[in-house]
């Protein structure tokens, strides 16, 4: 038996703590033949902060901060200088970031239908969600991001960069919809990544 799904669109990467977003970006870069950059470097350009006790896991110059809404650290892409497109421009990464807000989807079925269409177009996307809602564990009320892989029936398969998570997980569309709704309201939705050049 194959220990990995034979139809996966991505090679999973595993994140350093607090680096789920840059690690997901790496997976998309790798799939698109874009030369990789370290997740920590991508994170730096996205405004990554980590709790002080995690600073030792980084080489140097990582920003430390304790944020009540992001207790495990994370990016600050809500600030213009750390927006993904600003980071990609600075780093010369040929990707463009856009959001389809979760508020624009009337139901889980609408979300799953959009993801199915995205898969049919062979598009790349990341899905931000609330861990506690998705895993039915209220004690873990914090944000996380994974790469969208495929729709299977009415279920959504993601690739989770978390170092303690299965790389491939499949969730009911209703639960995924609810978990995405509980992400930060300004950033909840489908995070689309598209190439800005035509080089394969």
| Cα dihedral across residues 14, 18, 21, 23: positive or negative | negative
- Residue 109 belongs to some domain of the structure: yes
- Residue 83 belongs to some domain of the structure: yes
Token representation of residue 19 = 């680096």
- Residue 44 belongs to some domain of the structure: yes
- Residue 7 belongs to some domain of the structure: no
- Residue 5 belongs to some domain of the structure: no
Q: What is the number of structural domains in the chain?
A: 1
- Residue 110 belongs to some domain of the structure: yes
Query: What pLDDT, on a 0 to 100 scale, did the predictor assign at position 140?
Result: 79
How does pLDDT run across 120-145, given as a tens digit for each residue?
999 999 999 988 788 888 877 788 99
How does pLDDT run across 17-48, given as a tens digit for each residue?
889 999 999 999 999 999 999 999 999 999 98
pTM: 0.92
Nearest C-alpha neighbor of 140 from the set 130, 155, 126, 152: 130
- Residue 14 belongs to some domain of the structure: no
- Distance (Å) of CA 183 to CA 35, 52, 161, 178: 30, 24, 17, 9
Token representation of residue 194 = 């598209």
Give me the phi and psi of 98, to 5 degrees please: -140, 160
- Residue 24 belongs to some domain of the structure: yes
Domain that holds residue 180: 20-195
| Residue 176, domain CATH | 3.90.70.10
| Cα dihedral across residues 175, 180, 184, 185: positive or negative | negative
């Amino acid at each position: 038996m194959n220990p990995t799904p034979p139809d996966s669109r991505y090679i999973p990467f595993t994140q350093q703590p607090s680096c789920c977003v840059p690690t997901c970006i790496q997976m998309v870069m790798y799939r698109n033949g874009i030369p990789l950059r370290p997740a920590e470097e991508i994170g730096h350009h996205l405004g990554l902060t980590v709790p002080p006790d995690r600073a030792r896991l980084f080489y140097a110059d990582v920003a430390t901060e304790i944020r009540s809404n992001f207790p495990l650290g994370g990016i600050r892409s809500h600030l213009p200088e750390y927006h993904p497109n600003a980071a990609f421009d600075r780093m010369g990464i040929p990707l463009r970031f856009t959001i389809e807000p979760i508020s624009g989807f009337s139901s889980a079925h609408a979300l799953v239908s959009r993801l199915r269409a995205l898969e049919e177009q062979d598009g790349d996307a990341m899905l931000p969600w609330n861990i506690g809602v998705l895993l039915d564990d209220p004690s873990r009320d914090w944000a996380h991001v994974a790469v969208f892989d495929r729709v299977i029936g009415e279920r959504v398969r993601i690739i989770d960069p978390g170092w303690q998570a299965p790389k491939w997980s499949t969730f009911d569309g209703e639960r995924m919809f609810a978990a995405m709704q509980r992400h930060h309201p300004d950033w909840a939705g489908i995070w689309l990544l598209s190439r800005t050049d035509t080089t394969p």
